[in-house]
Amino acid sequence: MSRAVVIGSGPNGLSAAVVLARAGMDVEVVEAADDAGGGLRTRELTVPGFRHDVCSAIHPMAITSPFFRAFQLQRRVEYLAADISYAQSISPSRAAVAYRDIERTAERLGPDAAAYRSLLGPLSERIDDVAELSMNSLLRLPRHPVTAARFGARVLEQAGPWWRGRFGSEDAPSLLAGVAAHAISRLPSLSGAAVGLALAAHAHAPGGWPAPRGGASAVAGAMIDDLLAHGGRVTVGRRVDDLAEFADAEVVIADTSARELVRLAGERLPDRYAAALRRFRYGNAVAKIDVALDGPVPWTRPELAAAPTVHLGGSWRETLHAENEVAAGRYPDTPYVLIAQPSVVDDSRAPAGGHVLWAYTHVPSGSTRDMREAILDRIESHAPGLRQRVLGVHATTAADEEALNANYVGGDISSGAATIAQLLARPVLSPQPWRTPAAGLYLASSSAVPGPGIHGMGGYLAARTALADRGVAVPELGLH
């Protein structure tokens, strides 16, 4: 039986391991941390009984991911979605709301209803096509050219100074700015528009923006269970220093940053390729808090209390200003804060009556600044009395994020800047960017196409490439 080693146990490492084990290979996943899961870990960080997602919390792409659909994830993990996918708190007295129902969303936008519907309706109606396009290499011919053309035209519109041209009010542009800010980039931009439109389209798709019951670790657990059932194994607490440790492996798949791959591979990589990986740029970072509460967040707007995801960005002008300050290496006076409230839909996350709050803001790369007070101040300005409900707070700086997960270079949770160039060439310009020039070595992390998100596609595509290189068919992945 051929041996395969996967370095790193994040969603992409585990998806690669599942595919290779199903194909009959002897698979070992090696993880430096003391627990597996990477960006899919859930821990009691504050008070016993309160379960916080260490990294990812809300998973819109897990529902449409071609890998997770083949894996039948929704038969293994219960995903919980609210009627509201996300909301943008514009001021303490005003909020814009993205319901799963696009018609209900449009109704709240008044004179901008038709414009909003025409922007996102054709994408959300073809969400599987959008997912297939955005979760694969953009260098290949699109499988659904009409959807690709519609998506591309809207990206160009939303990336330029005219991006608000179709709207006459504040609410619709504020909704779009809040979701574009997930790209952690200067706004408006091509990458912000592409990321924002893909996520906004998911918001109005049937699955919405859901949270996994029990936390992100449930998703990692489902993949690990499948791996073990097919003869694989997971070794934690082992740091890899050189690929020579796995000289007997026919396939090595690295769920690592591009920078770490250069360190591990050493002279196995040609100089030109190694230089390209060294040039790969990392983006700005996040600083995060996890909070245990004795009750729900006391939002001034009731819509926010019902939203598992809240963008605390203010108006579109304020959101753009905050993101562009971070892009310039500064800390904005009024930061954009991205909030998840998974206990709005999942009562297993805290003891009866309690809630968990997950929140981060964007900061310059490598920041060591503790942002807990800045984040709490920002939330309390829209939810007076928040601090009175706090039972415990756990703060993570950008530097801490990298210490927690080596793929998050400088605290960049995307493992590489989400520029349009690096969405095309991730980490190099190639129709098969997962394959390295070293025989049997593949890159599967968010540093490779399609980039960040809980979709498992980097690992899935890397494993498919490894199997194709050996003339092995892609196995069935569903439940037996």
Are 140 and 219 members of one domain? no
Q: Is residue 347 part of a domain?
A: yes
pLDDT at residue 480 in the model = 80
Q: Which two tokens stand for residue 385?
A: 């009395």
Best CA proximity match to 38, nearest among 216, 183, 259: 216
CATH number of the CATH domain containing 323: 3.90.660
Break the chain down into helix, strand, coil percent, rounded to 5.
40, 15, 45
Residue 64's H or E segment, with its range, is helix 60-64
pLDDT at residue 1 in the model = 75
Are 391 and 414 members of one domain? no
The tens digit of pLDDT for each residue in 104-152 reads 999 999 999 999 999 999 999 999 999 999 999 999 889 999 999 999 9
pLDDT at residue 468 in the model = 98
pLDDT at residue 285 in the model = 99
Tell me the DSSP string of 290-316: EEEESS----SSHHHHT-SEEEE--SH
- For the chain, residues with pLDDT lower than 50 are none
In the block, residue with structure tokens 């990986």: 277
Q: Helices H, strands E: what count in the chain?
A: 19, 16
Are 226 and 301 members of one domain? no
SS3 3: strand
Q: Is residue 476 part of a domain?
A: no
Cis peptide before 298 (omega within 30 of 0): no
Q: Taking CA 96 as the corner, what is the angle to CA 93 and CA 100, rounded to the nearest 5 degrees?
A: 140
The tens digit of pLDDT for each residue in 47-97 reads 999 999 999 999 999 999 999 999 999 999 999 999 999 999 999 999 999
* Domain end point (choices 381, 404, 427): 404
The dihedral over CA atoms of 47, 50, 54, 60, expressed in degrees to the nearest 10, equals -160
Total structural domains in the chain?
2
pLDDT at residue 374 in the model = 98
Task: Report the DSSP pairing between strands 285-293 and 390-396.
Answer: antiparallel
Q: Is residue 124 part of a domain?
A: yes
Q: What are phi and psi of 13, to 5 degrees?
A: -65, -45
Instruction: Tell me how far CA of residue 418 lies from CA of 45, 167, 198, 446, in angstroms.
Output: 29, 26, 14, 10
Domain containing 378 equals 79-210+283-404
Q: Is residue 116 part of a domain?
A: yes
Q: Is residue 132 part of a domain?
A: yes
Are 197 and 319 members of one domain? yes
Alpha-helical runs (H) found in 237-347: 258-265, 271-279, 302-305, 316-327
Instruction: Please state, in angstroms and rounded to a whole number, the distance separating the CA atoms of residues 50 and 250.
Output: 43
